[in-house]
Chains A and B, each alone.
Chain A
């Protein structure tokens, strides 16, 4: 999902605007991935290196899940299945205020187990919230296993089409494809970008492995992982 955030934060969310009411909104509905969000916010200039390094330290404002008490985080998340509803409300607010601002929400595929995601899907389509763009990080994994084994969401794109969303399917590691999908503005319906990704991409010993949802790295594994990522450059 780092690629998805990179596409967002080098594209539509490229400018740091603090809590400017007219900024576009972003909701990391899969809040447990906040570390990647903090990195994007650091690269955008919202968070200093020292703040970034405080991640999960005692008393740090940068915990596992993002908090809107941070000047550059729009909504607090962490309880899966809640972000899309807030995004729909933010998109409806923009329309009521006659504002051109857009709203982006990033969900996980496991998160779509939550029924409330589908309540929000109904609502956004019913109200034709064309200023709402959601992205699903479809890596096929959740905490305890592969989604196919835990609770199948297949076929994901068809499910969203059936809910009257405009659906684009992209390789979630293809930066130009992500940028193009984020730039698209279909009329009259909300957008869903189903981004197929490989969990742990670039780190061979992590790719597609369930245990790395939770497992911490040793120093040696960290060095190995960084070497793997260097090769992606």
Chain B
């Protein structure tokens, strides 16, 4: 999603001189198109993310729309307090871009795994939180939100080729995007891990017909649309490359509980701290039960006896 995101940003920056790009010395083979086209609007701020967020706050107060880019743990978590007391508190249009949700930085280990970023970000009032499922949706979501009032957090995957079947790059604020229909079970997925959920749903047919929907906007939650979907099912499985607490599963639990919906919830995510070992993304997803086969087995069990 990085490549298409930056290409789209170059397009937007060509039309709007308020757009700037700040990087925390991250983005090799990703940011060059912007840096080459707009050298005076690109700032490598060095390995100093707190300052980068403070600088972005000062720039935004003066009318700029700064995009701030790093690996998600370094853009979202390291300077979180600067983001909270800066763009969030001041309601300024800073766009924080975090690359690599879940296990995308595979062999780099926990310091590089953003597994709680959605939880801490969606707690902030007035902050839009966007986690696209593929690069086409990433582009559409950027076009739909780059000029939104207040700050935005974008959680981007690294995969610039895979597309979620049936998603067709759709994104609409306040809505989830249904990519496959079926009456037996609802699967909700957030972020690039949606590809595993999609593969699981496909593998389960025709025995189990699942509706799969992508939730790309974690804050404000598309609560009304989600509730309409949840009302139609006896069971839902949420899928996210994120700790179980505070992410998509929690968001859905809140909606089910507050509305008293008779829908059983299974949250699939990262249950324990991934600090004992590392490995490639596919390996780590399997190790933590987030690969398509594990998800399919979990879905079958959840739906068992309910058909």
Q: Which residues of A contact B (CB under 8 A)?
A: 21, 25, 68, 74-79, 81-94, 96-97, 103, 115-116, 119-120, 122-123, 126
**Interface residue? B249 (CB, 8 A):** no
A89 engages B85 (CB within 8 Å): no
A76 engages B89 (CB within 8 Å): yes
Closest residue on chain B to residue A88 by CB atoms: B55
A88 engages B54 (CB within 8 Å): yes
**Interface residue? B86 (CB, 8 A):** yes
Give the residues in chain B near A116, CB-CB below 8 Å: 48, 50-51, 54, 82
**Interface residue? B63 (CB, 8 A):** yes
Q: How far is it, in angstroms, between the C-alpha of A147 and the C-alpha of B56 when the chains are bound?
A: 31
A88 engages B51 (CB within 8 Å): yes
Beyond known contacts A119-B48, A122-B51: 8 more, CB 8 A cutoff: A75-B57, A77-B85, A88-B51, A88-B54, A89-B55, A90-B59, A122-B48, A126-B46
A68 engages B62 (CB within 8 Å): no
Also in contact, A85 and B85, with CB within 8 A (given A21-B62, A75-B90, A119-B51): no
Q: Which residues of B contact A (CB under 8 A)?
A: 20, 40-41, 43, 45-46, 48, 50-64, 81-82, 85-86, 89-90
Give the residues in chain A near B63, CB-CB below 8 Å: 21, 93, 97
Q: How far is it, in angstroms, between the C-alpha of A74 and the C-alpha of B92 when the chains are bound?
A: 13
Give the residues in chain A near B48, CB-CB below 8 Å: 116, 119, 122-123
Also in contact, A90 and B62, with CB within 8 A (given A68-B90, A76-B89): yes
Most chain A CB inside 10 Å of its own CB: which residue of B41, B51, B90: B51
Most chain A CB inside 10 Å of its own CB: which residue of B20, B40, B41, B48: B48
Could you pull out 20 A-B pairs where Cβ atoms are within 8 angstroms? A76-B85, A76-B89, A82-B54, A85-B82, A88-B51, A89-B55, A89-B60, A89-B61, A91-B58, A92-B55, A93-B59, A93-B61, A93-B62, A96-B59, A116-B48, A116-B82, A119-B48, A122-B51, A123-B51, A126-B46
> Lowest 7 A-B CB distances belong to which pairs?
A85-B54, A89-B58, A93-B62, A119-B51, A89-B55, A90-B58, A119-B48
Smallest Cβ distance from A93 to chain B, in angstroms? 3
Also in contact, A85 and B50, with CB within 8 A (given A75-B90, A76-B90, A79-B85): yes
A86 engages B64 (CB within 8 Å): no
Also in contact, A89 and B59, with CB within 8 A (given A79-B85, A96-B64, A120-B54): yes
Give the residues in chain B near A89, CB-CB below 8 Å: 54-62
Smallest Cβ distance from A135 to chain B, in angstroms? 17
Q: How far is it, in angstroms, between the C-alpha of A93 and the C-alpha of B53 when the chains are bound?
A: 14
Q: How far is it, in angstroms, between the C-alpha of A122 and the C-alpha of B45 when the chains are bound?
A: 10
Also in contact, A78 and B85, with CB within 8 A (given A86-B58, A90-B58, A97-B62): yes
B58 engages A85 (CB within 8 Å): yes
Q: How far is it, in angstroms, between the C-alpha of A87 and the C-alpha of B89 when the chains are bound?
A: 16
Closest residue on chain B to residue A97 by CB atoms: B62
Closest residue on chain B to residue A103 by CB atoms: B58
B85 engages A123 (CB within 8 Å): no
Smallest Cβ distance from B58 to chain A, in angstroms? 2
Q: How far is it, in angstroms, between the C-alpha of A79 and the C-alpha of B90 when the chains are bound?
A: 14
Smallest Cβ distance from A114 to chain B, in angstroms? 9
Q: How far is it, in angstroms, between the C-alpha of A120 and the C-alpha of B89 when the chains are bound?
A: 20
Give the residues in chain A near B81, CB-CB below 8 Å: 79, 82
Give the residues in chain A near B89, CB-CB below 8 Å: 68, 76
A92 engages B51 (CB within 8 Å): no
